[in-house]
Structure 1
Amino acid sequence: MSTFIDLLRIHHDEFERQFGNQLSHDSRRAIYAMLSCKTGQQGCSQWICSHCQHDDRLPLSCGHRHCPQCQQRTTSDWLMRQQSKLLPVHYFMVTFTLPSELRPLACSQPKALYQSMFSVAASILKDFARRKHGGEIGFTTVLHTHSRQRNLHPHLHIIVASGSYNKTRNQWHKGKRNYLFNAFALAKVWRARMLDAINQHADLSLANTDTLPTKWVVDCRKVGYGLPALQYLSRYLYRGVLPDKDIIDTSHNSVTFKYKDGQTQATKTRALPTLQFLWLILQHVLPKGLQRVRDYGFLHGNAKRLRVRIQAILLHLFNWKMPEFVATITAKAIRICPCCQHEMKCVGISRTI
C-alpha cells in the first residue's frame, strides 16, 4: 500500500474540512480513485492455476494516472517505443519556465494555461529552427508542475534532436555539437508569446502585467548523444510527484520527505503538517484529458514515414544501423500461484456497479 494513500485515507475527513473548498473536480476524482484502489470497490479479477486448480480473487487497481499504486505506462515502456525514433545525433534539453506571478492562473485555469504553454513552446522552437536551417525539427515535450520542494512550479522539459530536415531538397542539415539556440533569445520570445496567448484566451486573463518580471527563464543545454539522451529524459516521465522512497517520516502528525537541492545537489529534507503535505501533492493533479507528454515534428506519431526517410539519409551519411521498429505491446499481468509457484491465469473480471 502507498504511504501517501494511507495518509489520505486516515486524514481524509479532516482534509476535506480544511481544503475541500479549494479542491478541483479533477482532484476529487483522483482522491476517489486512490481511496478505492485495490480495496474491492472497483471490483475484482479472478485467477486460476491450471496446475493445482487453486483460484483467487484480487481487488482491481484504479488505473488513475496520479495514483502512486498505478502506473499505466512505465519509463521502460516509453524508452522501448522511442528506440524506433532514435537518430545518431546530439540531443538538447530546453526548459521553458513560467514565473511565480503566473501560478495563480495555474491554480484557477490549469488546462487552458498548460495547453497554451505547449503550443507556444512548440511554435517557438519550430520558428527558430526554420529561421536557422529552413527545415523541420523533432522534439518531445514533458510538462512538470512541481519544483524539487514540490511547490507549484509549471515548466516544460523538451528534448530536441540536433539537426533539421529540408523536405524540398530531401536533405538533412546537421546541427552543431554544442549549440542549439540562444537561450536569452528564446526567453524573450517565450515571454512575449505567452503573454499574447494568455490575453487572447477566453478563459485566461491578467489584471496587471506590470508586476510580471521583464526577464523570464529558458535553459538550453546538451544532454547526450543518441540513446543516453532519451534515458536522461526518461527520468522526467511517468513518475509520481513524490515517490514513497522519498517519504522518510510520518509521525507526530507531520510528514518529512527528502529532495535534492538544485544548486548544491545536496540532499535536503522538508517537513510539513500532514494536511498541508496532502494538499501540496494533490495540487499537482492534472486536468482530465490533458496529455502530459507530446511529440512534435518528425518525432510525432503520425510522421513515421518521414522519420524513416530521415533515418535512411543518416544511414547513408554516417554508416549508421537503422533501429528496429518496436511495436506497442500491452503488458501481460502475471500472478504466481502461492501453492505450487506456477503461473496463474486471469479468467475474468467482475466490476462493482
Structure 2
Amino acid sequence: MSTFIDLLHQHGAKLAPLLGADAKRAMYAMLRCKTEQQGQSHWQCEHCPHHDQLTLSCGHRHCPQCQHHCTTGWLTRQQHKLLPTTYFMVTFTLPYELRALARVQSKALYQIMFKVASSLLKDFAKRQNKGELGFTAVLHTHSRQRNLHPHLHVLVAGGRYHVAKQQWHHTNKQYLFNAFALAKVWRGRMLDAINHHKALPLPKAIPAKWVVDCRNVGFGLPALQYLSRYLYRGVLPDNDIISTHNGQVSFRYQDSQSHTTKIRTLPTLQFLKLILQHVLPKGLQRVRDYGFLRGNAKQVLRRIQLLLRVPQRVNLTALQTDNNSATRPCPCCQHPMHCTGISRTS
C-alpha cells in the first residue's frame, strides 16, 4: 500500500473535518482504492484453468496508486505530436499575494489563468504575422516544498504554420518572445480578468512586477517527461517520503536555488493537508492543447509533419487491442487472461 494512503487510513477521521469538498472526495476515493469496498475484477486464462481476482483501483487522478497508464498514455500521445524543431517553455506564475484566491475560488482562478495565458501567446504571435502557434499548457499548483504555488507551464513548438500559404516558419532557436513584455501583459490581463469576476476579490497589496520565464528547452521530449511527472499520480511520490515516526512526516525535495536535496518535516495532519490542498476542483481540465496541437486540428498537424518530413507513426498497441478488451498475461502460462466481470460490494 502507498505510504500516503496508509497515513490517510490512520488519520482520515481527524483530517476529514479540515478539508474542502474536493479534497474530501479525493481522500475517500483513495481510502477505497484497491480494497474490497471498491470491488473486484474477475479474470480467466484462455489457455489454462487459472483464474484470478483483483481489487479495483479508485481511478482518481490524484491517487498515488492509480493512473500510471494515463500518464504513460498522455506522454505517448504528446510524443506523436512532437516536431523536429526547437521548443520553448513559458512559465506563467502568480505572485504570492494572489495565491490565497486559489484556496477559496480555485476553479475560477485557474480557468482565468488558462484563458489569459493562451490568448496572450496567440496575440504575441499575431503581432509577428508569421502564422499560428502550437502549444500545450499544464497547470501545476505546488512549489518544490509542496506549498501552494499555482503556475502554468506552456510548452511551445518553435515555429509557426501559415494556414493560407501552407508554409512552416522556424522560430529563432534562442528567442521566442520577450519575457519582460510577457510578464507586463500577463499582469495587466490577469488583474483585469479578476476584477471582472464577482467571486474573486483582489487583495490591496499587489506587486508591480510579475514573473514570466521563457527559455529554450531543446527538442521537447525532456520537457514533456517533466510535465507528465505529476499529472495523474499526486504531487509527492511515495519514495520521497522518508520517515513517518512520532507523529511527524519527513519528505525530501530538491531546493531550486542550491540544487541540493533538503528535508522538510511536518506534523502528520499538517502534512496531509499540505498535499491534499493540491487536489484540483472536479471537472477542471489540467492539460490543454492549443493552436495546431488542439484535438480538432489533426489534419493541420499532419500537414506540418509532412512539410517537416516527419514519418507517420503507427500505434501498434492500439492495433493489437481487440475491441479494447482488458487483457493481462497469465502468471502460469503467460497466455492472455481476459476480464470476465466485475463485482462490487453493496
TM-score tier (shorter): over 0.9
**2:72 corresponds to 1:61:** no
**2:120 corresponds to 1:124:** yes
Distance 2:142 2:156 in 1: 22
Unaligned regions of 5+ residues in structure 1, if any? 316-320
Partner of 1:183: 179
The AA in structure 2 aligned to 1:352 is T
* 8 Å Cα contact 1:86/1:323 also seen in 2: no
Please tell me the root mean square deviation across aligned C-alpha atoms, in Å.
2.1
* 8 Å Cα contact 1:249/1:255 also seen in 2: yes
Distance 1:281 1:310 in 2: 41
Partner of 2:340: 347
Partner of 2:276: 282
Partner of 1:318: none
Overall identity of the aligned pairs, in %: 65
- After superposition, where does 1:1-353 map in structure 2 within 5 Å? 1-16=1-16, 20=17, 22-71=18-67, 73-208=69-204, 211-225=205-219, 227-235=221-229, 237-315=231-309, 321-326=310-315, 329=318, 332-334=326-328, 336-337=330-331, 343-353=336-346
Instruction: Write the deviation string for residues 98-135 of structure 1: whole angstroms up to 9, x where unpaired.
Output: 01111111000110000000010000110111112341
Unaligned regions of 5+ residues in structure 2, if any? 319-323
How does the TM-score come out when normalised to structure 1?
A: 0.90
The AA in structure 2 aligned to 1:2 is S
Aligned residue-pair number: 341
Instruction: Write the deviation string for residues 71-122 of structure 1: whole angstroms up to 9, x where unpaired.
Output: 1644332232123322111000010000111111100011000000001000
SS of the residue corresponding to residue 308 of structure 2 reads: helix
Aligned-residue offset at 1:203: 2.4
The AA in structure 2 aligned to 1:184 is F
* 8 Å Cα contact 2:41/2:53 also seen in 1: yes
Aligned-residue offset at 1:309: 1.6
Distance 2:232 2:176 in 1: 27
Aligned-residue offset at 1:333: 4.9
Instruction: Write the deviation string for residues 45-94 of structure 1: whole angstroms up to 9, x where unpaired.
Output: 11223444233322211111111111164433223212332211100001
* Of 23-32 and 266-275, the range deviating more from structure 2: 23-32
SS of the residue corresponding to residue 150 of structure 2 reads: strand
Distance 1:288 1:83 in 2: 27
Distance 2:327 2:264 in 1: 37
The AA in structure 1 aligned to 2:11 is H
Distance 1:331 1:98 in 2: 44
Distance 1:327 1:144 in 2: 32
Structure 1 pair 343/174, CA: closer, same or farther in 2 (3 Å)? closer
How does the TM-score come out when normalised to structure 2?
A: 0.92
The AA in structure 2 aligned to 1:142 is V
Partner of 2:321: none
The AA in structure 2 aligned to 1:60 is L
Aligned-residue offset at 1:263: 1.0
